[in-house]
Amino acid sequence: MKKIAVIFMFLICAMSSVYANEVVVDTYESQDGIEIISYVENWKGDKLIEVYEELLKNKHGDEIEYLDRVNLYPGESPNGNEEGIYFYTLKKLKLLGSTSIEMEKGSHIDIYNMNEKNKVEDFARVLSHEYGHHFTIYYLAKNDKNFFIDWTKSDFYKVRQGGVYEQMESGSGVDHKWLIEEICAEDYVQIYGSLTGKIPVDVFDIEDKRNMNVLEEDQSYTSSAYNIIPQENMEIGLAAENPNVLNYWSDLSGIAPDVEIYSIPEITLGSRNEYERGYYSQIISWTGSYTEYGDEAKAYTLVAFDKSGKWFLPIKTVYKGEAKEAVVGTVMVQDNGRKKYYTDTFLGEDLKLAVVAVGNRGEAVSSGDYVFNAEDGVLSFEGQEDLEIVYSEMEIKTEKGIQEWIIEFLDGIMYRFFNLLEKIK
C-alpha cells in the first residue's frame, strides 16, 4: 500500500537496506512470524534457529510483535563502520494540539560480517544492541514521546543528565557515543540484554604473560568485550549503577529489570619494586563489588585509558575468589645469564585507570576514573561529577484520553481510505 502524506501526518523512517540484491541462502520462520534470513553460506539450517533463540534471550514484551526479521549478511555494512543496523518506521500524527507517535510493524535488524562469525557468541552483543534500539524506540514513542519532539523535555533527558553532558544530542554531526539513541540501546544491553553477549574475556597482565612465556606475542581486544567496555560511552555512568536509570526503563516499558545493584570498587596502589635503569613494577589493587545481600561480582577487569578517551587497553581480568590485583610496569627475564626487561607500552603521565566489575546477571559497574602517574607512583581519584538526582517515578497512564481516542479513530479511517484507493487503482 502506498503512503500518502496528509496535512497532519508524516513518517519518520530509517534508511532502506542496500543488500536487496543479495541471494538468500536459507530462511527460518518462527511460530510468532519472525524470520531469520541468511545471505551467507556458513549460517543456515539449525544455526538460524540458534539465532532466533538468542534473540529471545534479550528480555522483551509487546514490542517484539513489531519486529519482522533479522537479516544476516556477509561483508561490511553500507559505510563499513557498523556490525549491525536497525531499521524502523515511526508514524507521527498531530491533531487538536496533541501529538501521537507510534511504531509501525515491519522493523528489522541487519547483522554484517557474518561470513567471519561462526557461533552465536561472536555477535550476541551486537544483536542485543540492535534489539535494544527496537525495544527503547518502541517504548519511548509510547510513553516518553518528547524524546522525538524535543528531547530536552523528555524524562530520558532528566535521567541521563542531558543538562550536564552538553555533548549528548541527536542528529548528524554528533559523535556516535554521544547520540541519545545509542545511549538508549546501550542502556538496554546492560539492563535487559542476553547474558551470551556479556561473557567475560580473559586478559592477562605483564607478569602473567611472563609466566605464560607469551611476552613477545601480540594480543588484541575489541570494545565488544563487555567486561572491558560495557557501554560505548564510558564518560557517563553505567546503566546498572544508577537506580534512576533502572527505574526509568522499568516504568517506561512495564518490564522489571532482572538485575541487582552492586557496590562501586575502589582502586589503591600496592607495593612497588624498583629495578636498575629506572625500571619498576607496580601492583594495583581494588576492592570487591557486592550486592546488598553480600553476593560478590563474578569478574573484574582493570582497564587503562588515555585522558582524551581516544584509546583503551585492558590490563587484567580476575574472577571471584582470586586476588584483586594486577601488575603494571616492567618484568625481568633471565635469558642465558642475561637480563631482559619487558615494559608495558601504555604507561604515561596522562594514564587513567578504571575497574569494571560484572555481576552474576550481567550487571556492570565501574570504579570511575583514577589518574595514575606511573613514573612517580601516584594515584588520584578523578571520578565523575556528583549529579543531582532529578528523576521521580513516571506516571504511565493506561486509560486513553479523548484526544487519543479521536486520533486512533481517524487513523483507522485513513487506513481504510488508503486501502480503498489502492483497490481502485
pLDDT at 350: 72
Q: What is the number of other CB atoms lying within 10 angstroms of the CB of residue 423?
A: 8
Find residue 89's DSSP bridge partners: 13
Lowest-confidence region among 49-53, 278-282, 332-336, 391-395:
391-395
Rounded alpha-carbon distances, angstroms, from residue 355 to 56, 107, 122, 222, 324:
30, 37, 24, 17, 10
Q: What is the mean pLDDT of the segment spanning 132-152? A: 97
Quick check: 161 and 236 in contact, CB under 8 A? yes
Residue 367 banded pLDDT, cuts 50, 70, 90 = very high
Do 200-381 and 9-143 fall under one CATH topology?
no
pLDDT at 349: 64
Question: Is the pLDDT at 389 greater than 70, yes or no?
Answer: no
Residue 393 banded pLDDT, cuts 50, 70, 90 = low
Judging by beta carbons within 10 Å of its beta carbon (0-12, 13-18, 19+), is residue 204 exposed, middle or buried? Answer: middle
Q: What is the mean pLDDT of the segment spanning 133-138? A: 98
Radius of gyration of the chain (CA): 25
pLDDT in tens, 16-33: 444 556 899 999 999 999
Spatial distance between the Cα atoms of 34 and 74, rounded to a whole number of angstroms: 21
Rounded alpha-carbon distances, angstroms, from residue 409 to 12, 94, 404:
21, 13, 8
pLDDT at 172: 87
Quick check: 238 and 262 in contact, CB under 8 A? no
Question: Is the pLDDT at 387 greater than 50, yes or no?
Answer: no
pLDDT at 5: 28
Q: What is the mean pLDDT of the segment spanning 358-371? A: 96
Average pLDDT, the chain: 87
Quick check: 51 and 72 in contact, CB under 8 A? yes
Spatial distance between the Cα atoms of 407 and 409, rounded to a whole number of angstroms: 5
Quick check: 24 and 37 in contact, CB under 8 A? yes
Residue 8 banded pLDDT, cuts 50, 70, 90 = very low
Quick check: 216 and 222 in contact, CB under 8 A? no
Quick check: 248 and 155 in contact, CB under 8 A? yes
Considering only the C-alpha atoms of the chain, give the largest distance between any 2 of them, rounded to a whole number of Å: 92
pLDDT in tens, 113-130: 999 999 999 999 999 999
pLDDT at 133: 98
pLDDT in tens, 205-247: 999 999 999 998 888 888 889 999 999 999 999 999 999 999 9
* C-alpha grid cell, residue 307: 585522558
- Supply φ then ψ for residue 138, to 5 degrees: -60, -50
- CATH fourth-level superfamily of 200-381: Immunoglobulins (2.60.40.10)
Pairwise pLDDT comparison (305 vs 398), residue with the higher score: 305
Task: 148-154: list long-range contacts, CB under 8 Å, 24+ apart.
Answer: 148/12, 148/90, 148/92, 148/101, 149/99, 149/101, 151/180
pLDDT at 236: 95
- What size, in residues, is the chain? 425
Pairwise pLDDT comparison (143 vs 7), residue with the higher score: 143
pLDDT in tens, 43-61: 999 999 999 999 999 999 9
CATH of 9-143, one of 2.60.40, 3.90.550, 3.30.2010, 2.130.10: 3.30.2010
Domain ranges for the chain:
9-143, 200-381
* C-alpha grid cell, residue 122: 561472536
